[in-house]
C-alpha cells in the first residue's frame, strides 16, 4: 500500500473558489498553511467519463491521510445525489475510514449537522470555520485524535460531529 500523506479536499462544484483559496494560502508566505494535495495525483479531465473520474477519485482517496470537506450551501444535497462526485466521495471516505474535517465556508465554528452530508453524521469528525489557522490546527491535531479514538472499544469511541472550543480559536489569535 502506498504511503498516506496527502489531504483530500472534497467540495461541491459551487464551492471550488474556496478550494482555490486554500491552494493560494499554501503559496502565500504570510500564512503557515500547507498540505499535500491529493488532487495533484491522477488528474481527471472534466471531459472524462464519470466512471473514470470515480476511479481516479478512489485512487486519490486510497493515498489520503485525511479529508477536508468544504461545507457549503449545496454540500449535503449533492452528497445525497448519486449523480454527483460528492456522493461518491462521501461514500468512499466513509468506507476507507478516513478522518474528516468539515470546514464551514459560512465561517461557523460549530458542527452544523443540517449541512453535513447525512451519510457522514455518524463517524467521529471535526467541524471548524473556514480559515487557514484553524484548518492548519485541525490538520496537525485531528488525525491523531481520530486514530486514538479508533483504538478505543466500540462502546467508548466518540461518534458524531465535534467542534473545537472557543479557547482553541482564541489560542490561535482568532477572536470571535
Q: In Å, what is the CA distance from 140 to each residue of 2, 16, 68, 123?
A: 21, 23, 12, 19
- Is the per-residue pLDDT at 4 higher than 70? no
For the chain, the average pLDDT equals 88
- Residue 135's pLDDT is 95
3-class secondary structure per residue, 76-110: HHHHCCCCCHHHHHHHHHHHHCCCEEEEECCCCCC
Domain segments of the chain as ranges? 6-171
Q: Which pLDDT does position 2 carry in this prediction?
A: 47
Instruction: Return the SS3 of 12.
Output: coil
pLDDT of 47 reads 52
**Residues 61, 118: Cα–Cα separation, whole Å:** 20
Residues forming beta bridges with residue 8, ordered by sequence position = 67
Residue pLDDT, tens place only, 118-143: 999 999 999 999 999 999 999 999 99
Residue 42 has pLDDT above 50, yes or no: no
Highest CATH level, class, for 6-171: alpha beta
Q: Please check the confidence at residue 14 and state whether its pLDDT lies above 60.
A: yes
Q: Which of 30-34, 57-61, 85-89, 113-117 has the highest mean pLDDT?
A: 113-117
User: For residues 132 and 33, is the Cβ–Cβ distance under 8 A?
Assistant: yes
CA angle 139, 144, 150 (to 5 degrees): 130
pLDDT of amino acid 27: 85
**Local confidence band at 36 (pLDDT 50, 70, 90 cut-offs):** low
Comparing 47-61, 62-76, 135-149, the range with the smallest average pLDDT is 47-61
On whether the CB atoms of residues 63 and 2 are closer than 8 A, the answer is: yes
pLDDT the model gives residue 37 = 62
Q: How far apart are CA 13 and CA 137, in angstroms?
A: 25
pLDDT of residue 59: 86
Q: Can you give the pLDDT at residue 12?
A: 93
Amino acid at each position: 500500500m502506498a504511503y498516506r500523506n496527502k489531504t483530500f479536499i472534497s467540495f461541491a462544484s459551487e464551492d471550488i473558489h474556496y478550494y482555490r483559496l486554500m491552494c493560494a494560502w499554501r503559496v502565500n508566505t504570510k500564512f503557515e498553511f500547507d498540505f499535500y494535495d491529493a488532487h495533484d495525483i491522477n488528474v481527471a479531465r472534466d471531459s472524462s467519463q464519470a466512471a473514470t473520474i470515480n476511479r481516479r477519485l478512489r485512487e486519490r482517496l486510497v493515498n489520503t491521510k485525511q479529508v477536508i470537506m468544504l461545507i457549503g450551501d449545496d454540500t449535503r444535497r449533492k452528497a445525497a445525489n448519486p449523480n454527483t462526485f460528492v456522493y461518491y466521495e462521501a461514500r468512499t471516505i466513509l468506507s476507507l475510514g478516513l478522518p474528516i474535517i468539515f470546514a464551514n465556508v459560512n465561517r461557523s465554528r460549530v458542527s452544523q449537522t443540517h449541512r453535513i452530508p447525512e451519510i457522514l453524521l455518524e463517524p467521529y469528525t471535526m467541524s471548524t470555520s473556514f480559515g487557514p489557522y484553524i484548518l492548519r490546527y485541525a490538520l496537525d491535531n485531528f488525525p491523531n485524535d481520530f486514530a486514538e479514538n479508533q483504538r478505543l472499544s466500540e462502546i467508548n469511541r466518540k461518534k458524531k460531529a465535534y467542534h473545537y472550543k472557543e479557547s482553541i480559536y482564541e489560542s490561535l489569535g482568532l477572536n470571535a
